[in-house]
Amino acid sequence: MSVTANKPLNNNKKKNKRYQVKGRQVTNSAASDIKYLLGDRPRRDDLLIEYLHLIQDTYKHVSAEHMAALAKELRLAMAEVYEVATFYHHFDVVKEGEKTPAPLTIRICDGITCEMKGAKSLKQELIAKCETGVRVISAPCVGACDRAPVAVVGQNQVHKASTQSVISTVNAGNTSAEAINYIDLDAYQANGGYDTLKSCLNGSIERSSICETVDNSGLRGLGGAGFPTARKWSFLENTPKPRLVAINADEGEPGTFKDRHCLETEPHRVLEGILIASWAVEADAAYIYLRDEYPHIRNTLLEEIAKLEQSGLTGGIELHLRRGAGAYICGEESAMLESIEGKRGLPRNRPPFPAQKGLFGRPTLINNVETMFWLRDIVEKGADWYQSEGRPHFFSLSGRVKEPGVKLVPAGVTANQLINDYCGGMEDGHTFSAFLPGGASGGILPANKGDVPLDFGTLDEFGCFIGSSAVVIFSKSDSIRDICKNLIHFFEDESCGQCTPCRVGCEKMLKLIDKPVWDKALITELSDTMRDASICGLGQAAPNSVLSALQFFTEDVA
């Protein structure tokens, strides 16, 4: 767009000379592209991330021209669109004059399990052998640790990847999300699915009865914090309506893939739990925030939610599926709310808490996928059943074991039991030496703590916790130093950068543990600062592995 000056700036310029308005202008071609992509979709700013995905999926990058056009279409400032697009790993932002990325991207997971299974050498080999038009980059944990090493070719995960298997996948053009076998709506209903929800909706079950049952069962949040579920529900009592529910399906904690298992096998058990919880707290809508590394699950949920709506089984409760964009910080509940609203995933200062002012400023209940998975059984079979079964839940097992995977076990299981009774023992030639009891955040324990029950609160005396129940097993062939470097590097890369203790602390910690001899006093001082002053759990928990190493593996780091 340009304007015509009313008079020349000096006597040498013609009166009809046109001057360009300052700032980035929207080209006609970019505007047409965005209008076509959006179609009749609503022009709302909370859908910004969804629309950035449309651009990325279509053009394999997000150009400055398309961002400008999207900003105009959504009536947002260009700066707002740019800051959101550049915050998330999965958007390849291309500025004016920059080259576009290769048409095909291969992401090599560099999570702790993939690293111990040879991800670094796999990446180097692929860089050397892949032809022009293919980009090979590293990626944080993609939630498939039981099948490490993992390469993501487009949207297709290549499990137990080798150079040849990845190249074969590329040559075959297999870049779409994998298909999965799961219990669909018809099969789920044939086994009593949604009968409990129907009993809620027709008045056969009272809200107070469900809340009491859940409370007596001892069901906790199974995403990491372990907060009592019924108590969290009670926080919404007497709050103004409308109310919302947000389901955290962004399990980015390295070593964690149990929510993936729940959604891959029985998505309707999770969906029924979500609808029951929404009904129990009198919420009008539920938002499911799914990590972008699970495109196959997204396809499944879109299909099955549509079936639910067509069947009239939702009881008037709206189900919305929102797509993450590659940011571990969005597993923090308030950062997730920001992302659902179409913003950068920056944790909020609290108070106010989500139950008072959450998603879109409304009272919001936030629960985990696995917590919702167990809800139907608890309501149908009773609190005593859940207690008598040992409060069962899923553990993600990976590392140096023969049979890694998701294991259904009672609370209080030990690491030795997991290895020997559920995983077929250690891999041949490996001797158990250490383990992560709760993913990257939960600290590191030596093998001599392998008989300590793994449950909420049982590891407090060691400065550790089970968190999301992600257990990674190490052997004597694995270096404690290298493990800590991998974990701290992850936190450094995933820090949202909002607060100095976390942003700078992770960077400084990585430098301190890279030295031949670790300075225990300085590391402890830095850790205390990060724990005391970081806004959210990322910065507060990031030092745990290093502190555990100083406590239990002095000979390896001194």
- Shared-domain flag, residues 205 and 336: yes
What is the pLDDT confidence band of residue 364, given thresholds at 50, 70 and 90? very high
pLDDT at 234 over 70: yes
What is the pLDDT confidence band of residue 225, given thresholds at 50, 70 and 90? confident
Assess whether the previous peptide bond of 437 is cis (omega < 30° from 0).
Answer: no
Residue that finishes a domain, picked among 171, 193, 226: 171
How many CA atoms lie within 13 Å of 227's alpha carbon, on the beta-carbon side? 12
* CATH number, domain containing residue 31: 1.10.10.1590
Q: What is the mean pLDDT of the chain?
A: 94
19 occurs within a structural domain: no
What is the pLDDT confidence band of residue 379, given thresholds at 50, 70 and 90? very high
The parent domain of residue 507 ranges over: 407-557
pTM of the model: 0.94
Q: What local confidence, expressed as pLDDT, does residue 31 receive?
A: 96
pLDDT at 419 over 60: yes
Domain count along the chain = 4
pLDDT at 90 over 90: yes
Residue 331: left if φ>0, alpha if ψ -120 to 50, beta else—which one? Answer: alpha
Q: What is the pLDDT of residues 275-293, one digit of tens each?
A: 999 999 999 999 999 999 9
Q: Are 415 and 156 in contact (CB under 8 A)?
A: no
- Mean pLDDT calculated for residue range 111-128: 96
Q: What is the dihedral of CA 147, 150, 156, 158, to 10 degrees?
A: -70
- Shared-domain flag, residues 420 and 479: yes
135 occurs within a structural domain: yes
Q: What local confidence, expressed as pLDDT, does residue 13 receive?
A: 44
- Shared-domain flag, residues 208 and 145: no
What is the pLDDT confidence band of residue 2, given thresholds at 50, 70 and 90? very low
Q: What percent of the chain has pLDDT over 90?
A: 93
CA distance 106 to 498: 30
Neighbours of 478 (CB within 10 A): 19
Candidates 323, 200, 212, 197; CA nearest to 268 is 197
* CATH number, domain containing residue 166: 3.40.30.10
CA distance 451 to 471: 14
- Shared-domain flag, residues 327 and 453: no
Q: What local confidence, expressed as pLDDT, does residue 21 receive?
A: 44
Residue 7: left if φ>0, alpha if ψ -120 to 50, beta else—which one? Answer: beta
What is the pLDDT confidence band of residue 125, given thresholds at 50, 70 and 90? very high
Least confident among 30-34, 95-99, 433-437: 95-99
CA distance 369 to 248: 6
pLDDT at 39 over 60: yes
- Shared-domain flag, residues 368 and 308: yes
Q: What local confidence, expressed as pLDDT, does residue 541 receive?
A: 95
Q: Output the CA–CA distances (angstroms, integers) from residue 421 to 68, 402, 415, 426, in the order listed.
A: 57, 11, 10, 11
Q: What local confidence, expressed as pLDDT, does residue 34 receive?
A: 98
390 occurs within a structural domain: no
Would you give the end-to-end CA distance of the chain in angstroms? 65
Q: What percent of the chain has pLDDT over 70?
A: 96
- Shared-domain flag, residues 367 and 487: no
> What does the angle CA 456 – CA 460 – CA 464 come to, to the nearest 5 degrees?
90
pLDDT at 198 over 90: yes
Q: Are 336 and 248 in contact (CB under 8 A)?
A: yes
Helix spans in 427-552 (H): 480-494, 500-512, 520-533, 537-541, 544-552
- Shared-domain flag, residues 367 and 312: yes
